[in-house]
Structure 1
Amino acid sequence: MKLTVVGGGSTYTPELIDGFARLRDTLPIEELVLVDPAADRLELVGGLARRIFARQGHPGRIVTTADLDAGVDGADAVLLQLRVGGQAARQQDETWPLECGCVGQETTGAGGLAKALRTVPVVLDIADRVRRANPRAWIIDFTNPVGIVTRALLRAGHRAVGLCNVAIGFQRRFAGLLDVTPSEIHLDHVGLNHLTWETAVRLGGPEGEDVLPALLTGHGDAIAADLHLPRPLLDRLGVVPSYYLRYYYAHDEVVRELRTKPSRASEVARMEQQLLEMYGDPALDEKPALLARRGGAYYSEAAVDLAAALLTGSGSPYQVVNTYNDGTLPFLPDDAVIEVQAAVGPKGATPLPVTPVDPLYAGLTANVTAYEDLALDAALRGGRDRVFRALLAHPLIGQYAYAETLTDELLAHNREHLAWA
């Protein structure tokens, strides 16, 4: 089995490598290719990756290359984890929206749109080259904004599934609070990527007992603290929103916070420099503890589980993924990409039935889906008016004066990445 990671020079990659090494019986990789145009980073990450495999006795071969076509040639699955524009572009995404009093974040609001516009054309080019190399290859997208990028891939006819680590993070957290194994936790996870709610927490599987009420009663303070949301709000909702919902439920509070502290991008940039220095140490043969602060917790377990299900039919039978709606949420178009529990296997992902969604969540989900449709149109066809329409549609913006200013700012900060600008 050959698996290729595009964006293999990312400081995330050792987390992925660690999972591949530990879970080699689930996903028996014979060749792992790390593709990245940044030769200096790739050398450091590739060296550590080989040492991790060697320490854990993994027999697979690790290849590093800047040649995308060579890297994807014959690959059974290609995992995308790229960042167009790097941390410098992320720093901009997180700062210029604040000038209008709007959230500055790399996947949500105006910053999220900027990232989508930069990313979608690049990902589609990569996917076309993957298809030419192996039409049966699966593409696993971890590149944000996952919902929009996965929708672009599926619309273009690619064999693609989107992946996010939010659900597996909740699964691990809830399992710890309940003192059970993660495999015993099944989440009723509903919504869009970075816009989801845990509406039930079931023990044993899709038909298991819902212990969410007891979880909120016994551990509501801890869960609320994790989300940086007030405990009374969780009690009133009766569900657990993803931490990205804080951008909606406490927008102005978040903006005030973001204006008074260093951006997450600047923190990550400093952390990445530290990590790369560590990766260059020839004595290091395991992922460093600092990597846990970089983000992407449990990413490797989720990626291994998904790849194993798609390629071999093994792994967990039900997984939270991003895939076509196809009637699962009746208030959304069939070609919307939703993030829900799905049955996953060699034929792809089929969403499990979802209980009726409370209008409080359905309304916001429909609104953001409409924004994502306009965002994808702007990413595919370009044009200032399409950017403006997407921004005006976003519930975190919604005022024409803000949309006008943010359109100008977005274009000014991203011209080098937008062929049409």
Structure 2
Amino acid sequence: MTMHERNDLISTPIGPGLLRGAVEWERTERGLAPHRLPAWARAQCADPQLAMAESQPSGVRLVFRSEATVVELDVAPTRRVYPGAPPRPDGVYDLLVDGQLAGQAVATGGDTITVDLATGTSEHRTGPAGTIVFDGLPARTKDVEIWLPHNEATELVALRTNASVQPAPDNGRPVWLHHGSSISHGSNATSPSTIWPALAASLGEVELTNLGFGGGALLDPFTARVMRDSRADLISVKLGINLVNADLMRLRAFTPAVHGFLDTVREGHPTTPLLVVSAIHCPIQEDTPGPLAFDFEALAAGEVRFRATGDPDERAAGKLTLTVIRDELARIVAQRSVDDPNLHYLDGLKLYGEKDFAELPLPDGVHPDSATHRLIGERFAQLAFGEGGPLAKERARPERP
């Protein structure tokens, strides 16, 4: 749909009061761009992968209360095109009414970034904003959430409805602050409200702030400082796959980096329930170090797959694998929890293990599909948020402004 405006609709300015799940908001020439890392943190890292990941509003949603039966949202998405690779799916906008999915839409228009996988060069073309429309909504007062695409950046340009809009009141749910990799970001899920952290948050009745960054769970100090300074009643940190597939550090550096990351988070949240989660099962990197690479033979056949390029014998020299990291994370948490009873560990194999891989294999060798996102979300909700779990609501000490 092209951007348009109906005379019978009410325009409501889009501001931070209507947004949840974002860490910062940038005013652009067209509208409002949500960010999941603040500007000072972005300035400390020149990695274009992280810049892309944090700008994609995974877990970010517009939330308001209204009697409107029609909702229009003008947006300017930024899509990425990789010539020679299968086309990436367009971002989906999920509309929920009182917590239940009531509509989905895809925007037209927006910007396009074309990336050459062989050279890494890119070309940016600017396009017009588009309009997504949700109609036929229940004619009653209701809480409306529009979950923004987890897999493409978007600028929010205008919001129009056929009834007035008010910010939704605080629902009193604990805020769950989560940090993880592309799987937490939502890679290969089909829509933003069905990525595993969103599903787990819904089942656990908590409010999600998702700092899952594709390729970006690398124990960056600025991420720890963002978590330290963010509102959180419950916290989880999922570590492993990015540190292996980036081949970023050896065991000697990994162990103190984990301690330092947790120390920083604890500066702002000294007694908040904090769960350290290791990686799910990923056969290609269980015992083989990184770096990870595209499988170009598969790419030539129209499939996206990855392969590990390291040498298993190099584990003796301190190279990291998922098995090595799981063992070390369990040891670190056991050591620290003697003095920190609110620190806990969850083995990622309990979320998705070898038997699960046999039934629900990872399509590209690394990332789960939608069915597996649901499986992981349901298991996390049970293990972490369930009765007696390390992130159960009764453990939360609500931080209110």
**Structure number having the greater strand percentage:** 2
Note whether the superposition's TM-score is higher than 0.5: no
What TM-score do the two structures reach when normalised by structure 2?
0.29
What TM-score do the two structures reach when normalised by structure 1?
0.28
